[in-house]
Amino acid sequence: MTFAHRLRPRLVEERASVSPLELFFDLVFVFALTRVTDLMAEDPTGVNLLRGALVMAVLWWSWVGYAWLCNLVRADEGIVRVVMFGAMGAMFITALTIPEAFDDLAGGLDGPVIFALGYFVVRLLHLVMFWVISRTDPQLRGQVLRFAPSMITGTVFLLIASQLTGTAQTVMWILALAGDYLGTLIGGTDWRLRSVSHFAERHGLIIIVALGESIVSIGIGVASLPISWAIIVASLLGLAVSGLLWWSYFDVTSLAVEHAFEEATGARQIRIARNCYSFLHLPMVIGIVMLSLGLKKILSYVGDGNHHRLTDPLYGWPLIALFGGAALYLLALVAFKAYATGSVTVPRVVTAVVLIALLPVVWHIPALATLGVLTAVLVAMIGYEMVRYDQPRDEIRHGGASHP
């Protein structure tokens, strides 16, 4: 076997599973999520929550590109393996600079510039790899050429943003993301997918990764505090919230969408991949990260008796992040399922509205009670769905139906 043959990319099989290297790649994404939560938790203002969401959108687009790439060629074979490790290095450096993504810290290199350059390298490696594997596919090569300007636009605006401050800087970030996302939206549907099951599994696993970060936030919030009954109760409630969000995605919704995804063909299948997975999973992940911020704050409230009492309420932006994050996640799930199947899950829309309406009510109650209210609302939603959609649920999980 020649060296050139060893470097040759290998195509993904139709029913492929996610490779260990892709899971290893996601570990860097996990670290990045924790950095975003820390960025917002240090000073949980509206501006910092917006900044956290913008950083998440940049990180997400870095990750999404490799989800598409590794659906065509195996991540753990040939030159693709080397590219994946190179992208991991660039993303890791980008994650390290998240605290400096907007405001450069004294000393060292220019943080905002390093962040933008790290993002550029991640995207460039992805684009070069697509260029290589499209050499015998004129349709895919044309799609890559139409996609390239969005990457250049995004990086240029991030570099401009690195030299600005305040509102002008935020505007440049928004323009960078608009260039990336809108460029992809209008760039066409000539992409390729080799394995629907792999693509769906890949995005399901990233939801687990994000939910795992919410559990990490619970642990970090009390890591240096002595154990108490309040910490035990709050930790179990926080774990229950994460579990209920997991249930809302994996019990039926992801299966219903995957069935519709498999049945679709041509441009419709590419649009489901792009809109349902690449686009609509972003607000899910942002919602989970916002929820993580609220959980982290609640655990610090109930565990740190020197600075807080059990009667202290969670209020302001951390509370908005907690309830708003859960609501955003649910609404994104509704849109995710509705686009693919045409079915709107009304109970989840109602639950999201209830969570937002409850904000003035829970603003003044103890933080632990606030977490209890959130848990109770989500339990009520899941319980109602289990009863209301019992037969359609069984068909989706065991009979192959498309939707309730």
- 317/322 Cα distance (integer angstroms): 8
Contact 134, 72 (CB under 8 A): no
Residue 116 C-alpha from the chain's centroid: 20
Contact 242, 326 (CB under 8 A): no
Tens of pLDDT, residues 50-90? 999 999 999 999 999 999 999 999 999 989 999 999 999 99
Q: Would you state the pLDDT for residue 306? A: 62
- 211/184 Cα distance (integer angstroms): 27
Q: Tell me what the mean pLDDT of segment 94-121 comes to.
A: 92
- 14/21 Cα distance (integer angstroms): 18
| pLDDT beyond 90 at 24 | yes
Contact 176, 250 (CB under 8 A): no
Tens of pLDDT, residues 141-192? 999 999 888 888 888 999 999 999 899 999 999 999 998 888 888 888 889 9
State the pLDDT confidence band at 377, using cuts at 50, 70 and 90.
very high
Give which of 234, 216, 213 is closest to 314, Cα–Cα: 234
Tens of pLDDT, residues 242-271? 999 999 999 999 999 999 999 999 999 999
Q: What is the mean pLDDT of the chain?
A: 91
Q: Tell me what the mean pLDDT of segment 276-301 comes to.
A: 94
Hey, what amino acid is at 36? V
